[in-house]
């Protein structure tokens, strides 16, 4: 304090000293008071009074300095340790949280209980006690704390492991607040958990309570998850109840109208005599906000879009396809209806829109190919899109890196098989083949109603002309059909000539214009996909032959594809594949080996048998390298089907090569061949 007083008095002394200073003539000096004009610098004797640099005199500090403040507060310059500062900060944070969260203390207690009850090695009795204790603490406050990220997790665990009585109590407390909780980012998980654990009666009550709020919840990023979950858990009637609200204002207002058996929207409109324009207007008001927000992951929305495209006019349908064409479509094709929408966008989209769809899939091709529904969109692209360079660059280049995984996968193999043997019912089921033929009625070039009306009008005109002319009645039908064909083609030509729409915006109906065989060759052979696929089959021949799904890929490749598409370009590679399979078949039969021989394995024996019947070149290679002189060894079991295939082959050269060795085995009953097949081949 003495030093402080000295510092404060020093400027006064300077002021006093400078004020007494005068000039020689006795007048006061007007020289500015600078440091150089101080008496200490002017008077040499004052230099002795100066203190050294490292003196004990305390350094002057700014009043805002932390140490200066501490000295004023009376802490005697005592600093807090790091640990004490952390504790103090934690206490302040806790105090702020208590003020902000009314149930903060309860959440802390529940969190400590949750850490115990969620352990895996805890006894059921101990867990049930902890759950009962937690539910008792939360009783009456569940709707208030369900939105917290801590309490929501505690409630989910309680609902999962609690008794049915306790679960019903939680459900009854939450049900009045279900709509509010459905839009909360944390409570939505609890709501989904309650749906999973709900009884049939409770689920029906929940779905009934959602009526009137379906459209608004579907437009909400979080609420749409709840609607989709309820839609997936509901039966057919409950699903229909949720969908009806989205179709029409009448169906939304009057609940009795929703209880009809028809599921398709077009049938509902005809049965209830609804105005189609009103339905389209209402559905547009529901669908557009959903498309703008990009909430397109749910199957319920995909179903609504399918129904909308089925009744929409040309401009509305084209607008929906334009909005969906791009990266948004990738998020839809994982469901059955979403896959159909994807194929419709590919089929009816313009060249520009198709390009957006394919580019939007970049980086996701492998995942789409392994998806049960998504792979069909890629199949549709292979079958309809003419831009083979773009497909090769984006889709095929990504597929070439994982050909083995594609061949062994149940869904992904369809892409390879579609190129090797397109539209074959053995590889594509009925639903898959039907989806390739799906069309949007308003965008389809083959509009049956228009064609019928044109034909009727032409028939009337031709009959009038025939009555005036001398054309016989029996030739009337032929003449009228010729006129209809010519006039229809002329009409289409004139309409296309008068159109002012740019070419890129015109919808390409019924796929592309390129020859399917040419498109297939460009994608399979010219792109290098077939060559890489043959190499993969050679390296993994045994694994593919013995696989339930890979056997079909290696069969089609070894056969050369349908219509011999791989011949003659890749004949040398195919011969190498035939030799690789023959080498596997030439391995000695061993009872000690754990691995099953390819001629005795269920899948591989039947695949090799089919190759013998359908590919004479392979049959010749297999006989020379593997079976000649060893047929008696393989005349029993699954391998007998392979041996007998040589006599069942429709190729005379194949039968001739094997007959000398196999006929004695047939005569003595060692090798059995169906008489019908043998007699048919001999004839």
Per residue in 656-674, pLDDT (tens digit) is 988 888 888 888 888 887 7
Q: How many CB atoms lie within 10 A of CB 155?
A: 28
Coil, strand, or helix at residue 28?
Answer: strand
pLDDT of residue 59: 52
The answer to whether the CB of 276 falls within 8 A of the CB of 269 is: yes
pLDDT of residue 676: 56
Place of tokens 């008001």: 285
Query: Is the confidence at residue 301, as pLDDT, over 60?
Result: yes
Residue 268's alpha-carbon distances to 236, 310, 383, 442, 674, in angstroms, are 15, 13, 34, 19, 55
Query: Is the confidence at residue 333, as pLDDT, over 80?
Result: yes
Place of tokens 């001629």: 599
Q: In this predicted model, what pLDDT tens digit does every residue of 373-391 receive, in sequence order?
A: 999 999 999 999 999 999 9
Q: In this predicted model, what pLDDT tens digit does every residue of 399-418 receive, in sequence order?
A: 999 999 999 999 999 999 99
pLDDT of residue 445: 62
pLDDT of residue 491: 36
Q: In this predicted model, what pLDDT tens digit does every residue of 38-66 receive, in sequence order?
A: 444 444 444 434 444 444 445 555 554 54
Q: In this predicted model, what pLDDT tens digit does every residue of 110-149 receive, in sequence order?
A: 989 999 998 889 999 999 999 999 999 999 899 988 988 8
Query: Is the confidence at residue 87, as pLDDT, over 70?
Result: yes
The answer to whether the CB of 409 falls within 8 A of the CB of 549 is: yes
Q: Is 300 exposed, middle or buried (0-12, 13-18, 19+ CB in 10 A)?
A: buried
- What is the token pair recorded at 14? 């300077």
d(CA 537, CA 535): 5
pLDDT of residue 513: 86
Query: Is the confidence at residue 83, as pLDDT, over 50?
Result: yes
Residues 468, 471, 473, 477, CA torsion sign: negative
Asked whether the bond before 568 is cis by omega within 30 degrees of 0, the reply is yes
Q: How many CB atoms lie within 10 A of CB 10?
A: 10
Give me the helices (H) in 175-298, please.
178-182, 187-197, 200-209, 214-218, 223-233, 236-247, 249-253, 265-272, 276-293
pLDDT band at 100 (very low <50, low <70, confident <90, very high): confident
Q: In this predicted model, what pLDDT tens digit does every residue of 517-569 receive, in sequence order?
A: 999 999 999 999 999 999 999 999 999 999 999 999 999 999 999 999 999 99
d(CA 432, CA 421): 15
Mean pLDDT, the chain, rounded, equals 81
The answer to whether the CB of 135 falls within 8 A of the CB of 162 is: yes
pLDDT of residue 498: 37
The answer to whether the CB of 411 falls within 8 A of the CB of 375 is: yes
Average confidence (pLDDT) over 492-512: 40
- H or E segment to which residue 420 belongs: helix 413-420
d(CA 115, CA 228): 31
Share of the chain above pLDDT 90, in %: 54
Average confidence (pLDDT) over 145-172: 91
d(CA 314, CA 308): 12
Q: Is 55 exposed, middle or buried (0-12, 13-18, 19+ CB in 10 A)?
A: exposed
Query: Is the confidence at residue 503, as pLDDT, over 70?
Result: no
Query: Is the confidence at residue 467, as pLDDT, over 90?
Result: no
Q: How many CB atoms lie within 10 A of CB 499?
A: 10
Query: Is the confidence at residue 471, as pLDDT, over 50?
Result: no
pLDDT of residue 259: 66
Average confidence (pLDDT) over 4-21: 45
Q: Is 471 exposed, middle or buried (0-12, 13-18, 19+ CB in 10 A)?
A: middle
The answer to whether the CB of 348 falls within 8 A of the CB of 321 is: yes
Q: In this predicted model, what pLDDT tens digit does every residue of 338-360 receive, in sequence order?
A: 999 999 999 999 999 999 999 99
Place of tokens 């529901």: 286
Q: In this predicted model, what pLDDT tens digit does every residue of 213-265 receive, in sequence order?
A: 999 999 999 999 999 999 999 998 899 889 988 998 888 777 666 667 778 88
Q: In this predicted model, what pLDDT tens digit does every residue of 410-443 receive, in sequence order?
A: 999 999 999 999 999 999 989 999 999 999 999 8
Coil, strand, or helix at residue 108?
Answer: helix
């Amino acid at each position: 304090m003495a030093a402080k007083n000295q510092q404060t008095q020093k400027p006064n002394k300077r002021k006093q000293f400078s004020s007494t200073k005068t000039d020689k003539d006795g007048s006061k000096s007007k020289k500015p008071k600078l440091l150089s004009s101080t008496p200490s610098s002017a008077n040499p004797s004052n230099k002795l009074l100066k203190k050294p640099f490292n003196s004990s005199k305390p350094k002057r500090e700014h009043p805002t300095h932390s140490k200066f403040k501490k000295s004023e507060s009376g802490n005697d310059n005592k600093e807090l340790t790091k640990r004490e500062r952390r504790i103090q900060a934690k206490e302040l944070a806790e105090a702020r949280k208590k003020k902000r969260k009314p149930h903060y203390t309860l959440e802390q207690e529940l969190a400590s209980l949750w850490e115990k009850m969620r352990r895996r090695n805890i006894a059921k009795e101990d867990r049930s006690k902890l759950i009962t204790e937690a539910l008792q603490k939360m009783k009456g406050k569940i709707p208030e704390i369900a939105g917290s990220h801590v309490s929501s997790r505690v409630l989910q665990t309680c609902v999962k492991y609690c008794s049915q009585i306790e679960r019903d109590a939680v459900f009854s407390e939450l049900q009045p607040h279900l709509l509010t909780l459905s839009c909360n980012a944390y409570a939505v998980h609890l709501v989904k958990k309650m749906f999973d654990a709900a009884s049939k009666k409770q689920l029906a009550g929940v779905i009934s309570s959602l009526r009137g709020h379906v459209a608004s919840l579907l437009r909400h990023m979080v609420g749409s998850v709840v609607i989709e979950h309820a839609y997936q858990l509901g039966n057919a009637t409950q699903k229909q109840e949720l969908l009806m609200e989205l179709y029409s204002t009448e169906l939304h207002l009057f609940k009795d109208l929703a209880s009809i058996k028809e599921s398709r929207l077009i049938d509902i409109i005809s049965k209830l005599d609804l105005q189609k324009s009103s339905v389209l207007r209402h559905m547009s008001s529901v669908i557009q906000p959903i498309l703008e927000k990009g909430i397109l992951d749910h199957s319920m929305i995909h179903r609504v879009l399918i129904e909308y495209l089925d009744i929409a006019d040309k401009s509305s349908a084209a607008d929906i396809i334009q909005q969906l064409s791009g990266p948004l479509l990738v998020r839809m094709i994982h469901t059955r209806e979403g896959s159909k929408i994807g194929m419709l966008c590919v089929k009816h989209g313009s060249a520009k829109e198709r390009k957006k769809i394919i580019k939007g899939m970049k980086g996701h091709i492998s995942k789409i190919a392994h998806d049960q529904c998504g792979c069909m969109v890629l199949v549709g692209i292979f079958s309809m899109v003419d831009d083979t360079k773009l497909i090769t660059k984006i889709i095929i280049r990504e597929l070439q890196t994982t050909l083995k995984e594609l061949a062994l996968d149940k869904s992904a193999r369809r892409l390879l098989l579609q190129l090797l043997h397109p539209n074959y019912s053995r590889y594509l089921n009925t639903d898959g083949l039907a989806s390739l033929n799906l069309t949007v009625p308003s965008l389809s070039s083959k509009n049956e109603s228009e064609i019928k009306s044109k034909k009727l009008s032409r028939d009337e005109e031709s009959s009038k002309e025939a009555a005036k002319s001398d054309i016989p009645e029996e030739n009337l039908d032929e003449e009228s059909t010729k006129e209809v064909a010519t006039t229809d083609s002329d009409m289409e030509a004139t309409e296309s000539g008068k159109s002012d729409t740019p070419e890129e915006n015109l919808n390409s109906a019924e796929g592309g214009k390129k020859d399917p065989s040419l498109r297939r060759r460009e994608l399979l052979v010219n792109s290098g996909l077939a060559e890489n696929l043959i190499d993969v089959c050679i390296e993994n021949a045994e694994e593919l032959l013995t696989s339930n799904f890979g056997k079909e890929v290696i069969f089609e490749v070894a056969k050369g594809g349908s219509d011999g598409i791989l011949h003659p370009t890749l004949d040398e590679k195919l011969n190498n594949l035939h030799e690789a399979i023959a080498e596997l078949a030439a391995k000695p039969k061993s009872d000690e080996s754990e691995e099953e021989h390819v001629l005795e394995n269920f899948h591989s024996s039947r695949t090799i048998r089919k190759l013998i019947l359908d590919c004479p070149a392979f049959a010749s290679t297999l006989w020379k390298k593997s079976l000649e002189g060893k047929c008696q060894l393989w005349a029993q079991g699954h391998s007998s089907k392979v041996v007998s295939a040589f006599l069942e082959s429709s190729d005379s050269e194949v039968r001739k090569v094997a007959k000398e060795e196999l006929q004695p085995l047939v005569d003595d009953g060692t090798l059995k061949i169906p008489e019908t097949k043998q007699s048919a081949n001999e004839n």
